[in-house]
Amino acid sequence: MGGSAGAIGKTLDRVMPPQADPGRPHMLIGLIGRGIQSSRSPKMHELEGARLGLAYRYVLVDFDQLDLPDRALGAILESARAKGFAGLNVTHPFKQSVIGHLDGMTSEAEAIGSVNTIVFGRPGAIGHNTDSWGFAQSFREEMADAPLRRVVQFGAGGAGAAVAYALMDLGVGELWLFDTDSARADALCVAVGRRFPGRMRVEADPAGALRHADGLVNATPVGMIKYPGMPFPESLLSHRHWVAEIIYFPVETELLRRARALGCRILPGTGMAIYQAARAFELFTGKTPDRHAMAAHFAAAEQERIDCI
């Protein structure tokens, strides 16, 4: 399929919701990515919108389902803005490639080099990063006393950039980064090093790194429904590691199942998903959401998925 704005506009019509009640404040938000049909974001956002009295609709713009090439990304943004979207969330694999299609970014998003939230307004399409804050808040809530001397992070993509900054802010002594794309890992290490010098390095041998690590974070897409498995051989995982995941569909990845069986302390990706969604919701609406209510919305979405199996 071509990437012209006209053709993309017709494609986007396929996911547009019915006309909302004109008598209520109306807001239309979307999530762009690939393989996102299991996302809990629509339910979280829509239920919180309803709780606050908004006619709030959240749609999935799944490039896989819509048979869209990556080059259609800019046209999707242009079409979404023309159709009245207030903003978009962005997920794998577009958190970095979307930057070239924006009119501006917040200082935090620019420093991280990754965008997961776009707000449309008079200044244009402005990119934000709520992932980093979301991961940090989740970690502080559930893993506040976890040792942070040495941590291994798998993944240096858009989500990995946000997590690396969060881990530095959390006080990690040494962050060892592993990615199958060594150039991408090197670039992230340089970028993070500008703000946190001397505390991060690229690691080519995950086995050696994990032997000396207190904990590890999976910031790759491996473990998602579309990409099952683990980001490293399971034999490298030890009961002494704490394990953090950023994937939230499925809620329990293969990595978390293995870690739980070994007795590791674990941090599922649900906390990050809820916190980043809460901040994104506030950016979209200007209203402060209730984080606990959004956690309940997430649980409702997960139960709905289970009931449908």
Asked if residue 1 has pLDDT above 50, the reply is no
For residues 38 and 60, give the distance between their C-alpha atoms in angstroms, rounded to a whole number: 10
Distance, CA of 267 to CA of 246 (rounded, Å)? 9
Q: Are 252 and 268 in contact (CB under 8 A)?
A: yes
- The catalytic residue among 43, 83, 95, 287 is 95
**Cis amide prior to 250 (ω within 30 degrees):** yes
pLDDT of 227 strictly over 60: yes
| Residue 43 designated active-site | no
All domains of the chain in start order, with CATH: 5-129+273-308 (3.40.50.10860), 132-268 (3.40.50.720)
| pLDDT of residue 307 exceeding 90 | no
Q: How far apart are CA 29 and CA 58, in angstroms?
A: 5
Q: How many other CB atoms are found less than 10 A from the CB of residue 217?
A: 26
How far is CA 57 from its chain centroid?
Answer: 20
pLDDT tens by residue, 249-264:
889 999 999 999 999 9
How many C-alpha atoms does 38 have within 13 Å on its Cβ side?
A: 16
pLDDT in tens, 152-178: 999 999 999 999 999 999 999 999 999
Distance of CA 95 to the CA centre of its chain: 8
- Asked if residue 254 lies in contact with residue 229, where contact means CB atoms within 8 angstroms, the answer is yes
Smallest Cα–Cα separation from 3: which of 62, 61, 59, 77? 77
Rounded Cα distance between 47 and 40, Å, is: 11
Which range (3-7, 8-12, 52-56, 125-129) has the least confidence?
A: 3-7
Q: Residue 2's pLDDT is what? A: 44
Q: What is the mean pLDDT of residues 118-142?
A: 97
User: What is the chain's percent helix, strand, coil content, to nearest 5?
Assistant: 45, 20, 35
Cα separation, 213 vs 223, in Å, equals 21
Is the distance from CB of 80 to CB of 30 less than 8 angstroms? Answer: yes
What is the pLDDT averaged over residues 203-218?
A: 96
Q: Of 35 and 22, which is predicted with more confidence?
A: 35
Summarised one tens digit per residue, pLDDT across range 77-101 is 999 999 999 999 999 999 999 999 9
Query: Does the pLDDT at position 19 exceed 80?
Result: no
Q: Supply the Cα-derived Rg of the chain in whole angstroms.
A: 19
d(CA 72, CA 185): 26
Of the listed ranges 10-19, 28-37, 90-99, 299-308, the least confidently predicted one is: 299-308
